[in-house]
């Protein structure tokens, strides 16, 4: 027990140790910083407006359980965008290493939040609770690992993100055909957009790399949002 607490303490201390990457400016030009800030602003405004529409319609048409699941999704989306904005747009500092870990941990919560409405609505009642809890346990484990385990490379974590996201798709695969074709199409587009964004982010020589990655995240989230609204919330 003492050894485990010591390792956690060392990991937390490591997070506050100055990092050369986080003491340098993220953006090669002021223009790239401004564009990425605009992308985040558009995403946050859209998420706030969309959350009201989604949760309101879910409460009217589907009741409290779906409204709750929709609210969880919306909160996870806004938390991810907020963490991303705070980390990416702040000035270089020793604290930014911790902000980066929080930003990247929030991605796990976003993935779990994205699938919560689908597991609650589409899976059989006897399996829905188990699947939802399992996805959230995996997400919280991944988020904790992202904050405390600092030795994996960005590429390795990107593979873990993609595996976690597509694993949830496998869980829901048998029931996805019950969704309207438009909702299925939106889910496919969202998954492809997220995956393409990862490839853009890993290309460090690409101009506006961060803005393009965050734009892909927002567009993917928009597709997922549309699938929830059309496929789960609005009357068919």
Residues 131 and 171: beta-carbon distance below 8 Å: yes
Structural domains in the chain plus CATH codes? 31-233 (1.20.1070.10)
pLDDT tens, residue by residue, 96-144 = 888 989 999 999 999 999 989 999 999 988 889 998 999 999 999 999 9
Q: How far apart are CA 199 and CA 11, in angstroms?
A: 29
Lookup result for tokens 């393009």: 212
Whose tokens are 């290493």? That residue is: 97
Q: In terms of C-beta distances under 8 Å and separation of at least 24 residues, what long-range contacts does 156-165 make, across chains too?
A: 157/104, 158/198, 158/201, 158/202, 161/107, 161/108, 161/111, 161/198, 162/194, 162/195, 162/198, 164/108, 164/111, 164/138, 164/139, 165/111, 165/191, 165/194
pLDDT tens profile 171-228: 787 788 889 999 999 989 998 998 898 889 888 889 999 999 999 999 999 999 999 9
| The model's pTM | 0.86
């Amino acid at each position: 027990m003492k050894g485990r607490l010591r390792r956690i303490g060392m990991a937390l201390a490591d997070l506050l140790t100055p990092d050369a990457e986080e003491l340098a400016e993220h953006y090669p030009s002021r223009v790239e910083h401004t564009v990425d800030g605009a992308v985040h602003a558009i995403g946050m405004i859209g998420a706030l407006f969309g959350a009201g529409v989604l949760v309101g319609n879910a409460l009217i048409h589907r009741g409290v359980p779906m409204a709750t699941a929709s609210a969880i999704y919306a909160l996870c989306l806004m938390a991810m965008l907020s963490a991303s904005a705070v980390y990416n747009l702040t000035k270089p500092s020793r604290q930014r290493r911790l902000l980066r870990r929080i930003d990247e941990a929030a991605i796990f919560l976003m993935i779990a939040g994205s699938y919560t409405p689908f597991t609650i609505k589409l899976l059989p009642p006897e399996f829905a609770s188990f699947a939802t809890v399992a996805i959230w346990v995996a997400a919280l484990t991944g988020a904790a690992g992202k904050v405390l385990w600092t030795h994996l490379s960005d590429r390795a974590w990107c593979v873990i993100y993609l595996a976690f996201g597509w694993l949830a798709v496998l869980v829901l695969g048998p029931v996805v055909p019950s969704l309207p074709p438009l909702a299925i199409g939106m889910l496919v587009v969202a998954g492809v957009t997220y995956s393409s964004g990862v490839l853009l982010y890993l290309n460090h020589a690409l101009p506006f790399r961060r803005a393009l990655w965050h734009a892909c995240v927002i567009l993917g989230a928009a597709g997922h949002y549309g699938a929830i609204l059309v496929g789960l919330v609005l009357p068919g």
